Amino acid sequence: MKTSNVLTSITFAFLMVLTLNVGAQEFKGLDKSPMDAASFPADYKDSNKLIKITYSRPQLKDRSVSELAKEGEVWRTGANEAAELTLYKDMKVGGTEVKAGTYTFYVIPGQKEWTAIISTDLNVWGSYFYNKENDVARVTVPVTKGKESLDAFSIAFDKGDDALEMHLGWGTVRVAVPFKM
């Protein structure tokens, strides 16, 4: 009888080990352009946000910005899915009133200026399905040059004189998009 209990226990333990291995999840490698988010206020302890953007961070890796974000073409503002912008209160962008809500944020890069676009498109991959008819607001902003080069595309918010500014940076390219409250 003792032998039967020992064999049953060993068989049970063996089956448990097999079950754990069968149920194990296999994960792919890390995304080369990981998702990130920027918001204002940036302090994670402050839950009273005014604006937030979720985007993927492509890397230059010895390539040029104009190679990855082609001049004159609508760009998803990052990698993978198009950037998703959430306004928690109504704001003005380029003189256009934009209601609180969630939108897609595209840009059209240029050498001297970029056009920022807020669109009602949602859940879109890249800018392949961009539809100008869904634009809510557009604003053209100047390009400046940063002192240091950023390998990873980055977005940050800052309080300007009379607006919140969304700063886009990649390589030495710098663009500031104003959101007036």
Residue 89 confidence (pLDDT): 95
Contacts 24+ apart (CB under 8 A), 57-65: 57/33, 57/152, 57/153, 57/154, 58/32, 58/33, 58/152, 58/153, 59/32, 59/33, 59/151, 59/152, 59/153, 60/149, 60/151, 60/152, 60/170, 60/171, 61/151, 64/171, 65/109, 65/170, 65/171, 65/173
Please check the confidence at residue 1 and state whether its pLDDT lies above 60: no
Please check the confidence at residue 17 and state whether its pLDDT lies above 60: no
Which of the four pLDDT bands, split at 50, 70 and 90, describes residue 46?
confident
Which of the four pLDDT bands, split at 50, 70 and 90, describes residue 35?
confident
As given in the structure block, the two tokens for residue 35 are: 């998702």
Residue 141 confidence (pLDDT): 97
